Amino acid sequence: MNKITIIGAGRVGETTAQILAEEELCREIALMDVREGIPEGIALDILQMAPFFEFDCSINGSSDPQILRDSDLVIVTAGLPRKPGMSRSDVLEANVRIIDGVTDQIMQYAPDAMVLIVSNPVDTLTYRVAQRTGWDRNRIFGQAGVLDAARMASFIAQETGFSALDITTMVLGGHGDTMVPVPRFCTINGIPISHFISEERIAAIMERTRQGGAEILALRKNSSAYDAPGAAVAAMVDAIVNNRRRLLSCVALLEGEYGESDIAMGVPCVLGERGMESIIELDLNARERADFDRSASAVRADIERLNSLSLS
């Protein structure tokens, strides 16, 4: 991939840019932010890491949306993070206004790009970008489940003492309190986690996963998480850039899959050079299905709130 632009040079945007550079996932990284000077400063700072990490891609920053030109992929991290005590949905109204403006800039300057949404509430904003652009759904997707699955994997690693490298996890649904960790699809080197962890402890890990973002927010106080989120975004970029066709939980626009349409939420997807290439439909059992439906209802409530706002 030649050029990736990150819109929103805040904490998540900066961390993502750093990892993309360190891993040399493209030849050109651009950072865009409304705060003048900040994207330029961050770009310079990261560039000066090059001798240590041995990368030679270019990194530039600007407040001018023209920096979007020729982007193959645009990552959207612009918008307010929630504060302690808030849900991600509480920043919907503020962030949809930001995302609408950003979407228009992408359509104007990078009409052929793929778009990866990170800003919260990520399911509803991914839906909004898909609606506003009208682009094919393979080009518009969001990050949630990769991070939530990594959180769950790290909790399982702590619980069992096994390496996180051997742990595979799956988290579906909306990126909120109703997200759906699916222990039936969680294994340690192919062995179901129920072989190692009691039902009661699995339930506790599922709940800690659902509250994973809030736990960090409560501890960091002035900031929500950004280190693991940046790494999660970079893992998705790596899958696309290297056409790995990885099976990852991504926020995707549903067109009948899982019995849902006119909604975006976390489902297992194939991620490759064409972006969100396909959705894998799993046979959920009754309990998983009920949890998935409950999560869909929560996302739908946000979409309804979005539709009731007077937006241009």
Ligand X SMILES: O=C([O-])CC(=O)C(=O)O
Ligand Y SMILES: NC(=O)C1=CN([C@@H]2O[C@H](COP(=O)(O)OP(=O)(O)OC[C@H]3O[C@@H](n4cnc5c(N)ncnc54)[C@H](O)[C@@H]3O)[C@@H](O)[C@H]2O)C=CC1
Identify which of residues 117 and 306 has a Cβ nearer to ligand X in the complex.
117
Residue whose CB is nearest to ligand X in the complex, by number: 213
**Selected binder of ligand Y within 1, 4, 6, 12 (CB under 6 A):** 12
Report what 103 binds from ligand Y, ligand X, none; CB cut-off 5-8 Å by kind. none
Q: Which of residues 212-241 bind ligand Y (CB under 6 A)?
A: 223-226, 229
Whole-angstrom distance, CA of residue 265 vs CA of residue 245: 20
Q: Does 78 bind ligand Y (CB under 6 A)?
A: yes
Q: Does 107 bind ligand Y (CB under 6 A)?
A: no
Q: How far is the CB of 5 from ligand Y (least distance, A)?
A: 11
Q: Does 7 bind ligand Y (CB under 6 A)?
A: yes
Residue whose CB is nearest to ligand Y in the complex, by number: 10
Q: Which of residues 51-80 bind ligand X (CB under 6 A)?
A: none
Q: Does 88 bind ligand X (CB under 6 A)?
A: yes
**Selected binder of ligand Y within 62, 77, 138, 249 (CB under 6 A):** 77
3-state secondary structure the chain: CCEEEEECCCHHHHHHHHHHHHCCCCCEEEEECCCCCHHHHHHHHHHCCHHHHCCCCEEEEECCHHHHCCCCEEEECCCCCCCCCCCHHHHHHHHHHHHHHHHHHHHHHCCCCEEEECCCCHHHHHHHHHHHHCCCHHHEEECCHHHHHHHHHHHHHHHHCCCHHHEECCEEECCCCCCEECHHHCEECCEEHHHCCCHHHHHHHHHHHHCHHHHHHHHHCCCCCCHHHHHHHHHHHHHHHCCCCEEEEEEEEEECHHHCEEEEEEEEEEEECCEEEEECCCCCCHHHHHHHHHHHHHHHHHHHHHHHCCCC
195 part of the active site: no
CA 39, 306, 256: angle at the middle one, nearest 5? 100
Q: x/- contact string, 128-167, with ligand X (CB under 6 A)?
A: -------------------x--------------------
Q: How many CB atoms lie within 10 A of CB 294?
A: 13
183 burial level (CB within 10 Å; 0-12, 13-18, 19+): buried
> 301: Cβ–Cβ under 8 A, 6 or more apart, which residues?
none
Cα dihedral 168, 163, 238, 276, rounded to 10, equals 10
Q: Does 13 bind ligand Y (CB under 6 A)?
A: yes
Identify which of residues 1 and 264 has a Cβ nearer to ligand X in the complex.
264
| Stretch touching ligand X by CB under 6 A, among 24-32, 81-89, 241-249, 302-310 | 81-89
Q: Which of residues 160-179 bind ligand Y (CB under 6 A)?
A: 175
Q: How far is the CB of 91 from ligand X (least distance, A)?
A: 8
Q: Does 144 bind ligand Y (CB under 6 A)?
A: yes
Among 175, 183, 188, 252, the one annotated catalytic: 175
Q: How far is the CB of 197 from ligand Y (least distance, A)?
A: 25
Q: How far is the CB of 194 from ligand Y (least distance, A)?
A: 27
**Selected binder of ligand X within 33, 57, 76, 82 (CB under 6 A):** 82
Identify which of residues 15 and 187 has a Cβ nearer to ligand X in the complex.
15
Q: Which residues are annotated as a binding site for substrate?
A: 82, 88, 120, 151
Interaction site with ligand X (CB under 6 A) = 81-82, 88, 120, 147, 175, 213, 217, 224-225, 229
Q: Which residues are annotated as a binding site for NAD(+)?
A: 8-13, 33, 95, 118-120
Which residues carry out catalysis?
175
